[in-house]
Structure formats: structure tokens, C-alpha cells
Amino acid sequence: MSDITSLTLTDLVKSIKDKKISSEETTKAFIDRGEKSRDLNSYITEDFSNAIDKAKAFDQKPNFDLKLSGIPMAVKDLFCTNGVKTTAGSKILNNFIPPYESTVTQNIWNEGAILLGKLNCDEFAMGSSNETSFFGNVQSPIDKGLVPGGSSGGSASALAANLTPITIGTDTGGSIRQPASFTGTVGLKPTYGSCSRYGIVAFASSLDQAGPMSKNVKDCALLQEIISTYDEKDSTSINFKRNAYSKELTNNIKGKKIGIPKEYTVDGMPKEIEDLWTKGIEYAKDCGAEIVEISLPHTNYALPAYYIVAPAEASSNLARYDGVKYGFRSKGENLIDMYEKTRSEGFGEEVQRRIMIGTYVLSSGYYDAYYIKAQKVRKLIKNDFDEAYKKVDAILTPSTPSAAFKIGEKTNDPVSMYLNDIFTVPVNLAGLPAISIPAGVDAKGYPLGLQIIGKAFDEQGILNIAYAMEEKIEFKNKITDWWIK
Amino acid sequence: MTKDSSEYLIERYNNVYEVVIGLEVHAQVTSNSKLFSSSSTTFGAEPNTQVSLVDAAFPGMLPVINEYCVKQAIKTGIGLKAQINKRSVFDRKNYFYADLPQGYQISQFKFPIVGEGTVILDMENGPKEVGIERLHLEQDAGKSIHDMDPQNTLVDLNRSGVALMEIVSKPDMRTPDEVSAYVKKLRSIMRYLGTCDGNMQEGSLRADVNISVRIKGSDVLGTRCEIKNVNSIKFMQMAIDYEANRQVDLIEEGKTIDQETRLFDTKKNETRSMRSKEDAHDYRYFPDPDLLPLEVTDEFIEKLKLDIPELPDEKKKRFIDKFKVSPYEATILVSDIDTAKYFEEVVAKMGKNLDIKLAVNWITGELFAVLNNKNLEISESPISAKNLAKLINLIKNGTISGKIAKTIFELMMDGDKDPQIIVEEKGLKQESDPKALEALIDKIINDNREKAIEYKQGKEKLFGFFVGQAMKASSGKANPQLINEILKKKL
């Protein structure tokens, strides 16, 4: 077994079950590659020696009945992990060690997986390039100086660079799908209420969803099957019948109706994105799907509505980071002074910007004009999708309006940065599931993704379409290991 | 200033002002666990020992509604004869404070769980209705302790997240007495329902008092001031008295009243400005995205209605109808659920000798005096209802006199002793044997011949002297009625 780290999750699981390789060997291979890849800055916290101990313990008493027997993996640093530092990419949680485990990660460990460490992300998941992290920006393994996308940038980078066989991210406005698209990987944002939010550092509660990021659709289905559980500890968790996504995965999508929303053609969209979309439509047809033109008339209002709702919730969610109970505290003359210094020094610029926007739109006198109106827009966007789904089974769009950009290229232009989420945010506002799969490259050879949006709770449907199209697309990520000296 | 119980008016020169008062009562829900977490709510525990990760607002922690607290709020709503809203919404009230770990309080702003209702006050000059505007559920904050450490403020989060009901009245009260009656009635209803223990010393019941004044007869409301967090009825009355006069003085001086939040200084007996309307917090209320709207069904509400006990107003009516007590007596008997229970137990235990008048007198007289003296609740009464009933029966069947009963009552307090046993041990049984009493009286008349003659000559006052002598000779055990009869015959 020459290169363990380039195996898919499915193959790794099989190799360990077949006793071709041990958990320890596997874990060491990923750790070894991780240590050589520190220039990517994918990790915030490495938990390598614990991981090896756990792998040894697994090998001594292996349980092969689990779905992730002895599989090492790293997770986004937004998931609270019992006894392992959890920072959310922020200085304000720089020293925070949770005495509890998020439901999603607990589900993963329950299936026999082993934590490698915590992956870098935009501060409190606010960003589209992983440049807002207190722990520095993350390099994309695709090319030097390229952003991996965000906010799950560390996850995407680590996955594409083979530092972890699979990973999880969180997606509030595209934070799984956009970095997946930028790094030639697969990312699924499940239906709101599918994965428990318990123990995930909150950004915008009504939009946040955890989801799998993987090298292929099959791995994605397997992880989704594990992390999606009904959880009484999250009042917004929904008790619906969950499929055995990996077992029920099929490439037979004959007769499936796939909608193409005309409003997703935006001004100034590069031709290569349009071409990719056209190519995607052809692939879908090749798979036997029927293409239907649809309209999502309120798409234009999604981004402004999102940038009201998400900051509003964030401004309140982040009020708990006040220096009183845990995390970073700055000395102050009095309580107010301590608050001001703690929060000014503890939060980065982008987080402060969003707290200010959120505080403003909730203020008396502005609440109706902004927050209430945004909620109305949100309803209209949901209605658009409901109408469309009377005619189609799924919707196909590009994942992003462009390929990955250079580090520093957009940091001084927040609006241009926000525009990155234009195809992904409507999905969060409507609470729908959507998957991004790699489908091609731009002129520079940077990956581009296609997004398949499903009906609520129909993760199986979009996984199947993605699975069928993946076969036709035959995308191969070209990673040169340029960062390894 | 006129100050009788029915009218509370403030007079200045030619102007007569009336006071308009509304109350926001914060009542702690009786529940073993908090509104959104499973932490205990026991009062007086070591600081920060009843705090869950949710209460301390750790990252990623989420609130989960405690169904029991919802039931308690609905039951209270039913007790207030109020509209129960089948759909209510939890909002976040955002502000920063050291004892508010989340940086927001989860409350209900636009859509409270309970809507309009009514409370009837039993005032001396008749019943008075006070409207309820709404009742909503919310979290309590922790406690900041400023006087334990010279450098730092300490925070105790035991109370953080405890369920409160905020009960908002309409501005229907006009006198401090009505305010007192209103708080007592609310407390009484909630204690009957078991939804709030009403313990003001422990802070289970506290109120914000809204006060404005206006020329009597006007139907326009004046500018109001809100006095925050007053935690006893006496202080509420003192605060109202001070604040109403302050406002009248301002008007009389031609000044305007600023709408503001004020604090009542219990030591100086005055209210002080806390913050003006301009400085008022912008709480940035919005629906809590961590919680779905709270929806209850008709069946859920109907089931709770089956659990509602007889409430004070209904009990009062029944006591008047069934026991023929006066409305005044009935009000006293039902005002506290434990008094009503005690009374009904005495009545039940008295059996066929039932004498309501006697029972009421003993409870509201002797027993209340003792409880008052010893500062005890009736539930802690040193004399059980069962034994008080026995005592009354002993009077009723002539075993002891009313006077002896009082002596026995005193003795009963030592370990709730059975009065029958005391009578036997101390030989306190009433002497009702006519022959024995005749002999005793013959001797007294013999010993006091001159006085007997004076009596016969018309000095009727001396009858009392002979009664006294007879009682003395019998160590108070002689049956007073028989003594009277025999004396009349013999003299």
C-alpha cells in the first residue's frame, strides 16, 4: 500500500476491515503528510499523539462492525470536541477547551473514527476565503497563493491535500460548497434540521448546517448517513425518516427532472462558468435526466436578505463572548471598558463588521425596514423553490460565480467577497439540501464545481444525481504537492 | 391628602389628583428545573453549583424548552381567567451584563403565551376588577454580587435561566391598598395552583410598579414612571406614596414629568432616576432562531384545565353558601390556600358537633394570634387541624368551658398535644353535676350571708360576685351555665 493518504474513504474502510492496513499505519500516514504540509496552515490544533494512541488502542481491540472503523479524520474547528481546544478561528476562543462534544462529531466517533485535529476556518465561519482566521489564512493545495475558499477552508485544503480522508464543515451561506468547488472536492449542505447544531459554535442559527466534505460522492453519502441524526438537544432538529444514503446510492437517474433556473446567469459571470454549466446540463442529459427550464424570480434579493439575516443572528449569538466566563479577556477599568477592550481585541475585523451590521438591522427604527423585510424576502425565496419543485426533482447551477482567487485579492472589498456566495445563499435561506461536485477547471486549471439543489429532506435524490454525473464527468484533481519540500 | 381605604387622592390647592398604577409582576415558576435546561432551581444553594453548560452560555449550547414550565404558565393563565395563546414565540432581548451569560434574555415579546384576563380584588367596599394585559415566560438572570470582594464583582449563575412569568396588569389600580390586594390575590391564586410559591423574601415574587397621576375625573393618562424591582408589598406602597407626590409636585410647579425608569431607595424612602427614556436600552428584540414557535393544542389546554383546583373566588362563594360565613370571614379563610385547607379540615373533623361560628372564631382568633406571634405560616401551625377540632368539640359537648379551652390551647402548642389527654391529665373536665354544684353554692351562700341578703334587697350587681366565688371554688371547672341557673334558684 504505497499511498494510503490518496485512498478514498470507502477504500480505506475496506482496507482496514480486510486487515490490509492497520488503523495505526493509516493514522501515521495522514499525520506524516500533515507534518510535511504545515505550510498549508490547514490545522489550528493538531491532536496527533492522541490520535496514534487511539489508533493503537483500536488495533489491539478492533471493532470492524462500525462504519468508520479505525479511520482517522480532522474536523473544522467550529465543532466542540471534548478536551480538545476549539477556537472557531478566533482569538476570543484562543484558550477554550470544551468539556463536551458536539452531536455531529460524537456520531462520527461512535462509528469508530479517530480525531486527527482541528482544521482552520474563517473566524466564526464568517468569510469566503479563509482569510479572516485569527490563525492565519489557509493555502489551497491547488496552487501557491490561492485561497481554498471559506469558511471551511482548512477542511477543503486538508481534504484536497490528502491530510484527511474525509472531513466535516459547516455551511451558513455556502461555507461547505464554495470551498469544495474551489478545491475540486465534494461538499454537501444538508437540509436545515438534518444534522444537529448541538455543540457547533453558532454563527447564524437559522442557517447553520454541518455537512460532509469528501473526495467522491459515495464517501459523502456514507458520512452523511452517520452525521445526520435527530437530536432532542437541538430544538430545530427534525425527526424525519433518514435514508441509508450510501446503501441506497444509485446512478440510475433516468427520467429525473432537473431544473435550470434562468436567474442564475449573472452579469459579468466568466464564460468558463457558463460553459461549465452547459457541460453539466449535457452530462445530466447523458445520465438520462430530463432538463426543464425554471424560474426562481427572487434570486436577486437572496444575497442582500442573507447579509441582513445572518449578521443579525450573529450579532446576538456572539454576545456571549464577553470575557466574563471563558475565552480571552482584556483588562478594563470597569465592566463596560472590559467588554469593549475584550471584544475589540478578541474579534477580528470581519466579525466586528458583521456584528455592527447585525446590531444596526435589529435596532429600533430599522428593524422593520431591514430584518422584517429580509424575512419576507426569505419567504418569497422559499416559495420560489416550492413552485419550482412542483415541476422538477432537483435544480442544477454552478456552485460559484468564479474559480478560486488569490490570497489578498478581495480582502479590501467585502462586497465582492460577499458576491462569491450568490449561488449558494438562496439554498440556506430556503433550508434546502445542496451538493457541490467538481466538474471542470478554468483556464488556469483551477477547479470549478456544479451545485445540485434538492427538495427538503431529499439528500438521497441529489446524492444520486451527483453520483451519476460524477461518473460521466470523470474529474481528476491535479495536486502537485508543490508545498512539500 | 385623603387616605382612607377606598380613595387615595392627592390634594394641592384647588387640584385633586388621582393615581394610576399598573404592575409588572415577576413570578418565579415552581419547577424543579430551569426554563431551558435541566439544572436544579433550589434556592440558597452554594454559588454556581446549579449551572449547566446551557445556563452559562457555552459555545454551541442550545436551549430546549421545559414542558413543565409551559404547563405552569398555562395553568396560571387559566387561574387569571385569561386567553391562552395556542401559538407563542420566544424572542431574544439583547443587552450586556455580567450576570447575563448569553448576552440576551430569552423572553416573549410580541406573542406571549397568555393574553388578557382578570383578577378580582376583595376590597372593603366591595369587589374591584383589575385587568391582566398578558403573561409571558422568560429566563431570570444570574446575580451580581458587588460587596464580597473589594476589587471585583462576583457572579452567581444559580438563578440564571430559572423560569419567570411576567404578569402585566392594566393600569387599573388607584390606591396603594389596591396594589397590596392585587399582589396578595395574584400570590394567592398562584399558590392555589402551585405555579409560584410567592415567596417575596426569596425573590420568587417581585414587581415593577408603573405610576402616573392625573386630575381626578380626567380620562387621559399622565406620563408614567416605572419603579424597578420592588420586592415587598410595604415597599411598593411606600414607593407609590413617594412617587405620586413627587409627580404631583412637579405638575403643580408647572414642570413636566419625564418618562423614566426609577429605583426605590428603601433606606431613604424615595425614588431616584435610574435612566431616562433617551437612555433606555434598545433591546433589539427578535425571534430566537434556536427555538421554534411554541404551539399547544386545545386538548393540551383542556387537559390542564382538569388539574385546576377550586380557586379563591370559587372557594369563597362556596364557603358563604355552604357554611354561611360572612363575606369578610370567607375572604380571610380563602386568602391563603393553607388557611382554607386548615379550616376545611377542622370542619371535617368536627363531625356532627359542627359549629362553624366557633371554628372560624378559633382559627381567626386564637390560632392566628399565635401564628402571628411566632411568625409562622399556618402550614407550620403548632396545633393541627385535627386537634383544634377536638378542642372545639370538647367545648361543644360541655366537657370544658371556653375559658378552660384557652388554657388547654396553650398547653396543646407543646408538641401538638391531644386536648382530650390534657383534660384528663390535668383534671380540667368541667363540673356539670348539679348536686355537686348545689353543695358548692350552698357553702358559698352560707359563707357570705350578708351579701346574699344585700342581693335579695336588690343589689343585683352582686350576682357576678357569687359566680366568681363559685368558679374560684371549682378552680374554674364549674359549668358556668349551671352555676347561673343554680344561683338564681338559691338566691
Judge: B60–A99 Cβ closer than 8 Å, yes or no.
no
- Assess contact for B8 and B192: CB atoms under 8 A: no
Name beta bridge partners: B211.
Answer: B21, B225
Which residues, 6 or more positions from A73, have their beta carbon under 8 angstroms from its beta carbon?
Answer: A108, A113, A114, A115, A116, A164, A165, A166, A167
Judge: B103–A320 Cβ closer than 8 Å, yes or no.
yes
- Residue A27 grid cell: 493514522
Q: How far is residue A367's CA from residue A339's CA, in Å, rounded to a whole number?
A: 25
For residues B98-102, give the mean pLDDT: 96
Residue B257 CB-density burial (10 A; 0-12 exposed, 13-18 middle, 19+ buried) = middle
Positive/negative CA dihedral, B480, B481, B483, B487: positive
Domains of chain B with bracketed CATH: 2-305 (no CATH), 312-426 (no CATH), 434-490 (1.10.10.410)
**For the residues of A221-237, what is the DSSP string, one character each?**
HHHHHHH----TTSTT-
Q: Which residues of A touch B285 (CB under 8 A)?
A: 362
- Residue A154 grid cell: 482548512
DSSP character at residue A86 = -
Say which range, A225-234, A462-471, B284-293, B454-463, has the weakest mean pLDDT. Answer: B454-463
Give the residue carrying C-alpha cell 414550565.
B69
Q: How far is residue A465's CA from residue A96's CA, in Å, rounded to a whole number?
A: 41
Q: How far is A133 from chain B (nearest CA, A)?
A: 17
For B94, which of A102, A232, A316 is closest by C-beta distance? A316
For A201, which of B59, B104, B153 is closest by C-beta distance? B59
Chains A, B: CB contacts within 8 A come to 94
Percent of chain A topping pLDDT 90: 96
pLDDT score at A1: 41
For B284, which of A96, A339, A363 is closest by C-beta distance? A363
Answer whether residue A233 shows pLDDT above 60: yes
- Residue B422 grid cell: 390534657
Is A150 an interface residue toward B (CB < 8 Å)? Answer: no
Angle between helices B434-447 and B449-456 (to 10 degrees): 100
Q: Which residues of B touch A339 (CB under 8 A)?
A: 96
What are the angstrom distances between the C-alpha of B213 and each of A72, B177, B208, B236, B255? 72, 16, 17, 16, 13
Cα angle, residue B32 at apex, residues B26 and B34 outer, rounded to 5°: 60
* A476: three-class secondary structure by DSSP: coil
DSSP character at residue A4 = G
Q: Which residues of A are catalytic?
A: 76, 151, 175
Q: Rounded to 5 degrees, what are φ and ψ at A313?
A: -65, -40
* A299: three-class secondary structure by DSSP: helix
Is A331 an interface residue toward B (CB < 8 Å)? Answer: no
Nearest CA in chain A to B151: A334
Judge: A202–B60 Cβ closer than 8 Å, yes or no.
yes
Q: Rounded to 5 degrees, what are φ and ψ at A365?
A: 100, -25
- Residue B183 grid cell: 399582589
Say which range, B295-309, B349-363, B454-468, has the weakest mean pLDDT. Answer: B454-468
Reported in sequence order, the residue ranges of A87-190 that DSSP labels E, i.e. its strands, are: 114-119, 167-171, 186-189
Nearest CA in chain B to A206: B289
How distant is the alpha carbon of residue B414 from its chain centre?
27
- Assess contact for B491 and B456: CB atoms under 8 A: yes
Is A366 an interface residue toward B (CB < 8 Å)? Answer: no
* B263: three-class secondary structure by DSSP: strand
Nearest CA in chain B to A102: B60
Q: Which residues of A touch B36 (CB under 8 A)?
A: none
Closest by Cα among A304, A37, A338 to A163: A37
Closest by Cα among A149, A208, A138 to A173: A208
Q: How far is residue B292's CA from residue B287's CA, in Å, rounded to a whole number?
A: 9
* B64: three-class secondary structure by DSSP: coil
Answer whether residue B3 shows pLDDT above 50: no
What are the angstrom distances between the C-alpha of B456 and each of A175, B186, B462, B463, B488? 114, 63, 10, 10, 11
Is A371 an interface residue toward B (CB < 8 Å)? Answer: yes
Is A340 an interface residue toward B (CB < 8 Å)? Answer: no
Q: What is the largest CA-CA distance in chain A?
A: 69
Which one of A93, A97, A320, A347 would you mutate to disrupt binding with B, by most B Cβ within 10 Å of its Cβ? A320
Q: Which residues of A touch B60 (CB under 8 A)?
A: 80, 98, 102, 197-202
Q: How far is residue B215's CA from residue B17's CA, in Å, rounded to a whole number?
A: 4
| pLDDT per position as a tens digit, B33-77 | 999 999 999 988 999 999 999 999 999 999 999 999 999 999 999
* A357: three-class secondary structure by DSSP: helix
Judge: A325–B282 Cβ closer than 8 Å, yes or no.
no
Q: What value does the mean pLDDT of chain A take?
A: 96
For residues A138-159, give the mean pLDDT: 97
Q: Beta strands B87-88 and B294-295: pairing type?
A: antiparallel
Answer whether residue B406 shows pLDDT above 70: yes
Judge: B101–A96 Cβ closer than 8 Å, yes or no.
no
| pLDDT per position as a tens digit, B306-324 | 999 999 999 999 999 999 9
Q: Which residues of A touch B97 (CB under 8 A)?
A: 335
Q: How far is residue A194's CA from residue A238's CA, in Å, rounded to a whole number?
A: 6
Give the A window 222-251 contacts with B, CB below 8 Å: 232-236
Neighbours of A257 (CB within 10 A): 15
Give the A window 389-448 contacts with B, CB below 8 Å: none
Q: Which residues of B touch A325 (CB under 8 A)?
A: 56-58, 101
For B58, which of A98, A322, A335 is closest by C-beta distance? A98
Name beta bridge partners: B156.
Answer: B143
DSSP character at residue A146 = B
- Assess contact for B418 and B409: CB atoms under 8 A: no
Nearest CA in chain B to A79: B60
Is A363 an interface residue toward B (CB < 8 Å)? Answer: yes
Judge: A371–B286 Cβ closer than 8 Å, yes or no.
yes
Q: How far is B69 from chain A (nearest CA, A)?
A: 16
- Residue B255 grid cell: 414642570
Give the A window 281-320 contacts with B, CB below 8 Å: 312-313, 315-316, 318-320
| pLDDT per position as a tens digit, A84-125 | 999 999 999 999 999 999 999 999 999 999 999 999 999 999
Judge: B153–A80 Cβ closer than 8 Å, yes or no.
no
Closest by Cα among B229, B199, B228 to B30: B199
Q: How far is A89 from chain B (nearest CA, A)?
A: 13
Judge: B286–A322 Cβ closer than 8 Å, yes or no.
no
| pLDDT per position as a tens digit, B191-248 | 999 999 999 988 999 999 999 999 999 999 999 999 999 999 999 999 999 999 999 9
| pLDDT per position as a tens digit, B256-307 | 999 999 999 999 999 999 887 777 789 999 999 999 999 999 999 999 999 9
For B59, which of A80, A324, A371 is closest by C-beta distance? A80
- Residue B361 grid cell: 372564631
Nearest CA in chain B to A124: B59
For residues A211-238, give the mean pLDDT: 98
- Assess contact for B153 and B131: CB atoms under 8 A: no
For B96, which of A322, A325, A363 is closest by C-beta distance? A322
* B235: three-class secondary structure by DSSP: helix
Q: How far is residue B6's CA from residue A169's CA, in Å, rounded to a whole number?
A: 68
For B60, which of A80, A313, A371 is closest by C-beta distance? A80
Neighbours of B132 (CB within 10 A): 23
Which residues, 6 or more positions from B450, have their beta carbon under 8 angstroms from its beta carbon?
Answer: none
Q: How far is residue B47's CA from residue B459's CA, in Å, rounded to a whole number?
A: 76
Predicted confidence band of residue B5 (pLDDT cuts 50, 70, 90): low
Domains of chain A with bracketed CATH: 4-234+242-297+383-473 (3.90.1300.10)
| pLDDT per position as a tens digit, B150-159 | 888 899 999 9
Neighbours of B365 (CB within 10 A): 11
For B98, which of A98, A335, A367 is closest by C-beta distance? A335
Judge: B98–A202 Cβ closer than 8 Å, yes or no.
no
pLDDT score at B424: 84
pLDDT score at A387: 98
Which one of B54, B58, B104, B157 would you mutate to disrupt binding with A, by most A Cβ within 10 Å of its Cβ? B58
Percent of chain A that is helix, strand, coil (3-state, to 5): 40, 15, 45
For residues A76-80, give the mean pLDDT: 98
